[in-house]
Chain A
């Protein structure tokens, strides 16, 4: 894979901005177009660009864990968010009533600074989706990169 200094320098600005945008999209998704999946895809684009500009080793340094762990963690977070009301409802809630899976709570959490923040439990579900999408796409990028690696060395030698 070819990598030019221009791309590398530009990516210094593009990469953090794209990640920020991905995060923004993921948060915005509760009421507007966006959400964990979209955010994850945008973050994946950022990571793909990073892999193209900096090469495989930098990618491994940036994300030292195996992508399958990220996927599993994301799925686990989403599943636990879904299961939470089923345990909370009958045992811990005031009404002691059974609640279906994936029931959403939307409390305003006081962070101590400024206005209380609207923090729906769907946020954690979206976080899980975000992690799954990032994990899957990083996994694919890494796998595709493995095929390309020998060519890269040739280019470096030439």
Chain B
């Protein structure tokens, strides 16, 4: 369903960043603009999610085509349940970290474009959650990364610069591979639109006479490498702990909550829809048709999930700094999400969506707590922390709730995510992953208790940098941010049923792409697949070969028959467009969907875009010679 309001989720932070550039030297006004922007994003995203949750299936995906250009050619902005959930969580986390930063950041640092950069970061994040094609995903990533580079070095200490250099180098490498991959996708399928790609792949899967192009699995691995690096999967997570160790703690909280999840989101979006395919038709236990999954990708995802979960949690147990423990835990938790994606059933994907949301909120809350702990003790080294329970019991309560949510103690939010993912793992024969998930949970508890007992329970031996009362009064906004996020975490735990309603819908949409494809490409875009499947279940082979409509341009040598075909063009347009361009004849088979686009392009431009050398004249079609 078309709803043009969704793009406002990107426009709000953009406008806010412009306004805060104008107000760069007025701190209070900049802060007000930022808080307003985050609140508006949160409110808008929340209302849109409420709207699509109760809507019937054909209205459950909101689409806006930028500039009114139809789907595979224009820029599509898509808001479905998964995007909605994540944008809500991103806005909440952003708001919490932003409020928290008021009492953490040095005023001089704050003037170095901190406010505009935060808004630009949110712009990139929201755009990557909503974009409908691969190239715009790349653009959104770049916007987000540019802002994150600048935020990484904000305040410029030498340590920060050293780590930022590593981060920038890795991300530039990943972006290059991403761009190469996008180019290869365009070469193989002639489209970059995610829904269009999913449609083509679904048609290939349903059609026994066609095969996926060679190198498709290699392409999938390339994309996995890129998103794995951004999302900090198993062999590619080495950049994360050191980077998050050096930056101001509010920004570390935001990055730990948001940035890796954008990588995981893209895997959750692209792999079930497109890249995990092996080109075969398969049905699930309920008899519905689902695409066949490639064993190579499945194995890579499962192994990545297992190692990410387990090795990272071991790393967390061995660390002795609060920041490092939390940073390494980000990786370990990403493992659970990849686990959910690797199982690739609708319920597991729903669990993955829920887990992403809860992890963003809880992880950010923990980082923010760590910020106040550092204010109390002047350090985050566990050896010199202690006695915080006596000094500051509200902080201890907030930290305990957040930590237990991360571990997944039953009434709290982490439990529901882990339970669904692990249960699905056992159900789908990935019991090894399930066991590793459970062990990881226990070790998570151990490392969280380590912070708890050293930092809060131990006798007070810290060199008291500042008096508790002074810290409390200087950290009011920090407490506000933490309370807000912990409140959200409690809501996710006690209101898990309501959130799961949205998450289940997200899982269904990811598992069965029909709703998504129809919403983006228009009615009838998926008919070809249905026809092929019906033909295949009724009578195989000949019937299917008749109705193939491959969206590709083939070039053949000229022959006398083709001239005849060319003269009959306008009548035959719905099926096949043959254009003579000596010495070649271009033959363009058009599916039902393809012909609609061709007609539109012809009526608006007078030429068949993207082949401008073909134009319509009064008598028929004409080829313009170069």
Are B68 and A100 in contact (CB-based, < 8 A)? yes
Q: Is B579 an interface residue (CB 8 A)?
A: no
Q: Which of A72, A98, A102 contacts B21 (CB under 8 A)?
A: A72
A68 neighbours in B (Cβ, 8 Å)? 21, 24
Q: Which residues of A have CB within 8 Å of B21?
A: 68, 71-72
Q: Check A102 against B18 for contact (C-beta < 8 Å).
A: no
Interface of A is mostly: helix
Contact B18 A99 (CB under 8 A): no
Chain B interface, number of residues (Cβ within 8 angstroms): 15
**When the two chains form their complex, are residues A76 and B18 in contact, meaning their CB atoms are under 8 A apart?**
yes
Q: Does B333 contact A (CB under 8 A)?
A: no
Q: Does A101 make an interface contact (CB < 8 A)?
A: yes
| Chain B window 41-82, contacts with chain A (Cβ cutoff 8 Å), 1 for yes, 0 for no | 000000000000000000000001111100000000000000
Instruction: Please tell me if B15 contacts chain A, counting CB pairs below 8 Å.
Output: yes
Please indicate the chain B residues that have their CB under 8 angstroms from the CB of A100 in the complex: 2, 4, 7, 64-68
A103 touches B22 (CB 8 A): no
- Count A-B contacts at CB 8 Å: 40
With a cutoff of 8 Å between Cβ atoms, the chain A residues found around residue B11 in the complex are: 79, 82-83, 101
CA distance A82 to B64 in the complex (A): 13
B18: which A residues are within 8 A, CB to CB? 72, 75-76, 79
| Chain B, 358-384, CB within 8 A of any chain A CB | none
Closest A residue to B113 by CB, please name it: A68
Q: Is the CB of B15 within 8 A of A79?
A: yes
CB distance from B33 to the nearest CB of A (A): 13
B65 contacts across to A, CB distance below 8 A: 100
Given contacts A86-B4, A100-B4, A101-B7, contact A79 B14 (CB under 8 A): yes
Q: Are B15 and A102 in contact (CB under 8 A)?
A: no
Instruction: Choose one: B4, B14, B24, B64; the contact of A75 (CB below 8 Å).
Output: B14
Q: Give per-residue flags for B492-536: 1 if the beta carbon is below 8 A from chain A beta carbons, else 0.
A: 000000000000000000000000000000000000000000000
Q: Which residues of B lie under 8 Å from residue A103 when comparing CB positions?
A: 67-68
- Chain A residues lying within 8 Å of B15, measured Cβ to Cβ, are 79
B68 contacts across to A, CB distance below 8 A: 99-100, 103
Which of B2, B14, B24, B66 is close to A102, meaning CB atoms less than 8 Å apart? B66
A18 at the interface (CB under 8 A from B): no
Given contacts A68-B21, A72-B18, contact A102 B67 (CB under 8 A): yes
Chain A interface residue count, Cβ-Cβ cutoff 8 angstroms: 16
Map CB proximity to A onto B13-32 as digits: 1 under 8 Å, 0 otherwise.
01100100110100000000
Residues of B within 8 A of A98 (CB): 2, 4
Residues facing B in A55-79 (CB within 8 A) are 68, 71-72, 75-76, 79
A104 — which chain B residues lie within 8 A by C-beta?
67
Q: Which residues of A contact B7 (CB under 8 A)?
A: 86, 100-101
Tell me the bound Cα distance from A120 to B227 in angstroms.
39
Identify the closest chain B residue to A71 (Cβ): B21
Of all chain A residues, the one with the shortest Cβ separation from B20 is A72
Quick one: which of A96-135 are within 8 Å of B by CB?
98-104
CA distance A147 to B2 in the complex (A): 52
Smallest CB–CB gap between A116 and chain B, Å?
20
Chain A residues with Cβ under 8 A from B2's Cβ? 98, 100
CA A45 to CA B603, docked complex, whole Å? 41
**Chain A: minimal CB distance from B335 (Å):** 38
CB closest residue in chain B, given A98: B4
Closest beta carbon of chain A to B259's beta carbon, Å: 23
Q: List the A residue with the shortest CB-CB distance to B67.
A: A102
CA of A142 to CA of B68, assembled, Å: 40
Instruction: With a 10 A CB-CB cut-off, give which of A101, A102, A103, A104 has the most chain B CB atoms.
Output: A101
Q: Can you name 6 A-B pairs with beta carbons within 8 Å?
A: A75-B14, A79-B18, A98-B4, A99-B68, A100-B64, A101-B64
Interface residue ranges, A against B (CB under 8 Å): 68, 71-72, 75-76, 79, 82-83, 86, 98-104
Chain A to chain B: the 4 pairs with minimum beta-carbon distance, closest first: A102-B67, A72-B21, A101-B7, A102-B66
